[in-house]
Amino acid sequence: MATKNTIILAAGKGTRMKSKLYKVLHRLCGKTMVDHVLTAVEKADMDNVVTVVGFGADAVRENLGKRTQYVVQEKQLGTGHAVLQAEKLLGNLDGMTMVVSGDTPLLTTKTFEDLFTYHQNKKAKATILTSQAPDPTGYGRIVRNDLGIVEKIVEQKDATREEQAIDEINTGVYVFDNQALFEALHKLTNDNAQGEYYLTDVIEILKSEGETIAAYKMDDFDESMGVNDRIALARATEIMRTRINRQHMMDGISMIDPEHTYIDADVKIGSDTIIEPGVQLKGHTVIGNDCYIGANSEIRDSILHDHVTVTSSLIEESEMMDHSDIGPNSHLRPEAKIGKHVHLGNFVEIKKSSIGEGTKVGHLTYVGNAKLGKNINVGCGVIFANYDGAHKHETTVGDDSFIGSNSNLIAPLEVADHSFIAAGSTINKTVNQYDMAIARAHQTNKAGYFKKLPYQKD
């Protein structure tokens, strides 16, 4: 049975990145470069995906998990040698095999599908994905004859002056007849400026054997960008961010300033949501319909349901239910769950706590390791003291309670529903239903004391 396969080349160290991090693990828009490539490949319905790893092999495996098979290129002897490492997994299969580099994160599933289709229609043994480069320096050139038929691919270092003037470049992506690919790989030599086994030489071998070589030129050169240094990484990030933002706007999202809106690749956003400038939506965040995300907010790996308003706040690994709001300048730390119609005002911090429907936490308050019921009013400056110096403890506050301003609730603590905490109290004992708890010193007025103060004038 004919198979559809992909080999992802991810064995290079990437010295030009000047980084301790393995090259293909550098991130843009929330995912590593090689993850972007694998995601696009997966959507093209492959029978087999093999990733060739070398430097940093364990880190790549950890990043991609079981989504792909792996082979190791122990010595960096060129792209042809790297592909040959996959022979034990793919060499005996019938069908087509695509080869793509792990540092080309902008390539899309549609381009891969179009390349496979073109290859099949041309009945080719090999099809090269090409593009027209504004500046072809550094790329392999596609050399065609007078009839436009591909003669060979020549690398920059081995190209003549005339060949260097060619602007049709090799993107480094190919589709081959699988068995023809591995047969040709065994015929490669390293007689070139780099002393490496070039995958591009497979094209010349197949051509010399009278096989059909095709070249599919894609329209968008930017999509073919390979990332070899930090400058290219920044440029690729900019292109991908523009692509992501454009798609969201086409799907019914309003962005006040798309150039200054930062949305990761896996973020999902519902229709009629409005996003102000400086917003960062990261990780696997999900935003519902009709939300308003105010300027300079950051939301990471969180779920916001419908009609949620966020004003200049930070939300991490948390959930906000319908019609809740937060900010300005507030912070949801991991495992905060905010109920429907909850109001969290300015300078409020919530950590590993649930806030029940209709509860209001207005300002300057810390809630940690707590369960708050419905329709509670939490006054200004309240602190849920959850840490005894060694362990975290939980506070529970029942429905329809009132927590007066500047109160301290010391965990472990239970405050029943319909209870009242007087302002300025420090509470560390159970408060029963309908009770008012007061824990503060009695007020004493010292008559005439003001006149004794040293800074008073006669």
Residues with a catalytic annotation lie at 363
Encode the chain in three state secondary structure: CEEEEEEEEECCCCHHHCCCCCHHHCEECCEEHHHHHHHHHHCCCCCEEEEEEECEHHHHHHHHHHHCEEEECCCCCCHHHHHHCCHHHHCCCEEEEEEEECCCCCCCHHHHHHHHHHHHHCCCCEEEEEEECCCCCCCCEEEECCCCCEEEEECHHHCCHHHHCCCEEEEEEEEEEHHHHHHHHCCCCCCCCCCCCCCCHHHHHHHHCCCCEEEEECCCHHHHCCCCCHHHHHHHHHHHHHHHHHHHHHCCCEECCHHHCEECCCCEECCCCEECCCCEEECCCEECCCCEECCCCEEECCEECCCCEECCCEEECCEECCCCEECCCCEECCCCEECCCCEEEEEEEEECCEECCCCEEEEEEEEECEEECCCCEECCCCEEECECCCCECCEEECCCCEECCCCEEECCEEECCCCEECCCCEECCCECCCCEECCCCCCCCCCCHHHHCCCCCC
**What letter represents residue 88's amino acid?**
K
